[in-house]
């Protein structure tokens, strides 16, 4: 059977190659529609505009978005505490939903009955996925919307067959890839490396015994050294995408690997984190996004991630601006193995153990894997530290939804006023 052309073509050529002036007009037409709709149907957005002294007619262009205050993830958490389940940001009655997802926070997120956003599908196609591919989707299907609602549906849009493996069960994952001759992988880059190493332990030849051709990775940083390792080990085309569970895909790589194209169902701004004012291409600021999704019409949603835009033409023919790699966070919200952890969670873990006098989370990187260590100072050292370590590890997993080691350190090791989360990772 002949192999499909994986290095050229478009998912939506009409949009992806549209001249920028026309595309801006197209996006601004969608913007005016969603602002009017959200004002009429999402109480929290109506209140945001009213408080700012704005009406829908004041938002006509992408530049006009600067008039609207940025909505932070913390705002969603607080609003949901006061107005369950969605804090007034959902644009349809609850009975019209298909699912309700739960992301860390917790944040309840609505799942529309018919998923029609094209952003992730654009990214999959740009990364080489083609109709007929069998793709293992190793993102977490449990509670959160990314794997089930976004990636799974988008694979279907492209015409792929999905194997919903989720995370874990590494040996079984290897056998699934081998037995089904899966040509596609979706997941974090570190988990793909784990699978590759497990396959080698099982005595498999990665290129002969597996059939992987393309890998779509997200939710973690992708150092070029790790990309090179995986591409050489597996003989795959590996491309990354960027987005959030709240608002979907905000950028995807093409074959050129020179930044992440903004998809055609979002508006992405780079703004000054303090003022919310838009910054020009080349200047670093917070990624702020607006979706046209009437079920969950988030408008000017602040991701907390830092990047900048480039608008030079891309040889692939796509005309959208591009995000460079993610440069960091605007706060201490830190992503560890594809899950956000925040200082409040560290405090919650420590608060369950009266013997803890000081604590902090330290995140490092070993062999292309995130390592989270919960450092603890004890008031009384005369305790069964083995038993206590196991208990704290279980609490970390329950509260933070990610595994972490526990390190007992001498009193005075953690400085007064130290960051609750210290990210010591370096990226080449």
Report whether pLDDT(265) > 70: yes
**pLDDT tens string 36-73:** 999 999 999 999 999 999 999 999 999 999 999 999 99
**pLDDT tens string 163-183:** 999 999 999 999 999 999 999
Q: What is the average pLDDT across 137-145?
A: 95
List of long-range contacts for 40-44, beta carbons under 8 Å, 24+ apart: 41/91, 41/92, 41/294, 41/297, 42/88, 42/89, 42/90, 42/91, 42/297, 43/83, 43/88, 44/79, 44/83, 44/87, 44/88, 44/89
Instruction: Check residue 330 and give its pLDDT.
Output: 79
Cα–Cα dist 110/120, whole Å: 18
At 247 the three-state DSSP class reads coil
The chain-wide mean pLDDT, for the chain, equals 94
Of 305, 244, 318, nearest to 269 by C-alpha is: 305
Q: Kind of pairing, strands 237-244 and 71-72? A: unpaired
Instruction: Check residue 70 and give its pLDDT.
Output: 97
Q: Please determine, looking at this structure, whether the domain spanning 336-423 carries the CATH number 3.30.300.30.
A: yes
Beta strand spans in 199-244 (E)? 214-217, 237-244
Spans of all domains in the chain = 1-330, 336-423
- Model confidence at 332, in pLDDT bands (50, 70, 90)? low
- Model confidence at 157, in pLDDT bands (50, 70, 90)? very high
- The pTM for the full model equals 0.84
* CATH superfamily of the 1-330 domain: ANL, N-terminal domain (3.40.50.12780)
> Considering the chain, what percentage of its residues have pLDDT values greater than 90?
87
Q: What is the average pLDDT across 274-297?
A: 94
**pLDDT tens string 224-244:** 999 999 999 999 999 999 999
Cα–Cα dist 201/314, whole Å: 41
H/E segment holding residue 76: helix 73-82
Report whether pLDDT(351) > 70: yes
């Amino acid at each position: 059977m002949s192999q499909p052309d994986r290095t050229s073509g478009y998912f939506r050529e009409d949009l992806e190659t549209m001249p920028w002036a026309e595309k801006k007009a197209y996006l601004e037409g969608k913007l005016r529609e969603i602002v009017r709709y959200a004002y009429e149907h999402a109480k929290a957005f109506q209140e945001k505009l009213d408080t700012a002294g704005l009406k829908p007619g004041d938002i006509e262009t992408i530049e006009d978005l600067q008039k609207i205050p940025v909505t932070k993830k913390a705002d969603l958490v607080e609003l949901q505490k006061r107005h369950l389940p969605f804090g007034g940001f959902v644009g349809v009655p609850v009975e019209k939903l298909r699912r309700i997802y739960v992301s860390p926070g917790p944040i309840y997120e609505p799942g529309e009955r018919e998923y029609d956003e094209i952003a992730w599908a654009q990214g999959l196609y740009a990364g080489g996925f083609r109709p007929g591919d069998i793709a293992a989707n190793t993102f977490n299907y449990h509670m959160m919307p990314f794997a089930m609602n976004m990636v799974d549906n988008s694979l279907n849009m492209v015409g792929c067959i999905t194997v919903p493996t989720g995370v874990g069960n590494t040996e079984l994952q290897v056998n699934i890839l081998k037995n089904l001759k899966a040509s596609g992988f979706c997941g974090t880059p570190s988990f793909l490396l784990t699978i590759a190493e497990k396959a080698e332990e099982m005595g498999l030849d990665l290129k002969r015994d597996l059939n992987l051709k393309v890998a779509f990775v997200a939710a973690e940083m992708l150092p070029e050294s790790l990309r090179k390792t995986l591409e050489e080990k597996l003989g795959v085309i590996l491309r990354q995408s960027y987005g959030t569970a709240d608002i979907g895909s905000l950028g995807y790589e093409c074959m050129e690997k020179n930044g992440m194209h903004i998809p055609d169902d979002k508006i992405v701004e780079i703004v000054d984190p303090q003022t919310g004012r838009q910054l020009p291409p080349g200047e670093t600021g917070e990624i702020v996004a607006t979706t046209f999704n009437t079920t969950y019409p988030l408008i000017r949603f602040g991701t907390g991630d830092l990047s900048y835009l480039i608008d030079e033409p891309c040889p692939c023919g796509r005309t959208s601006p591009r995000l460079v790699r993610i440069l960091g966070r605007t706060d201490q919200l830190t992503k560890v193995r594809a899950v956000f952890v925040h200082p409040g969670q560290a405090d919650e873990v420590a608060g369950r153990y009266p013997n803890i006098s000081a604590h902090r989370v330290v995140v490092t990187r070993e062999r292309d894997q995130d390592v989270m260590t919960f450092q603890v100072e004890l008031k009384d050292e005369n305790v069964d530290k083995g038993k206590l370590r196991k208990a704290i590890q279980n609490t970390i997993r329950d509260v933070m939804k990610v595994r972490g080691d526990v390190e007992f350190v001498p009193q005075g090791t953690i400085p007064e006023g130290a960051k609750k989360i210290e990210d010591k990772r370096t990226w080449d």
